[in-house]
Amino acid sequence: MRIVPAVDIRGGLCVNLVQGDYDQETVFSEDPVAQVKTFWAALGEGIIHIVDLDGAKEGRCCVETQLLALKAAGVPFEVGGGIRNMETINTVLAAGADRVILGTAAHEDPALLKAACAAHPGKIAVGIDARAGKVSLAGWLEDTGTDAIDFAKQVEAAGAARIIYTDILSDGMMKGPNIETTGALARAVNIPVTISGGMSSLDDVRAVRDLEGDGVDEVIIGRALYLEKFTVAEAVATATVCA
């Protein structure tokens, strides 16, 4: 199980939201690039998860400056938020992203998803953010009636390399991830799944290790790291212990 530290950027700051609510924001660093570098120094391998919160609202990349700085520093990263056309996909990849995460666009424009997967094989992931099992879009501001598992099957068929599944009701709550729902989604597809939302302790890291047999091979951790519930190094050590 790989640990993926998360850095959410809004207004040029490193922040964290509770259940995607922009009115429940905590600023953890005034320098997101420095924060990424700190996480990367402890991680040493793998990837950093970047969320462009302004982009999620505006439908465009708002963090290109930060991405270019990370590219120059040699830090591997993936980016999600506001990526809704091929131009933005190409911009983010040119800025150094190892993966581009489509969310709203994957749901609203299946043709774009298919074209992006064909143009950039292995580099397109789909973020499925769900509230009570139904897909939510536009920075979690718009709920749909689409079943998350049905949607997962559709994006796999379109050629997505990975699914990043976030349980919105768990996110930022520090009460543990939604193991059952994530496992069910992972078992329904044949591409790897990243679990996100609710990680609060090393016991949660141990719990998600049990999902590896279902196809979950990465876990995104944000707020728990900022609140110093545990360190990146501790999470990596826990995640890699053999059962």
| Catalytic annotation, residues | 8, 129
Query: Cα separation of 123 and 120, whole Å?
Result: 6
Query: Cα separation of 181 and 179, whole Å?
Result: 6
Among 153, 146, 65, CA closest to 108? 146
User: Phi and psi of 111, rounded to 5°?
Assistant: -65, -40
Query: Cα separation of 75 and 20, whole Å?
Result: 26
Among 173, 166, 163, CA closest to 214? 163
- Tokens for 11, please give them: 């207004």
Torsion region of 227: left, alpha or beta (phi above 0 gives left; psi -120 to 50 gives alpha):
alpha
Separation of CA 199 from chain center: 13
Is residue 235 a contact partner of residue 208, using CB atoms and an 8 Å limit? no
Query: Cα separation of 224 and 133, whole Å?
Result: 24
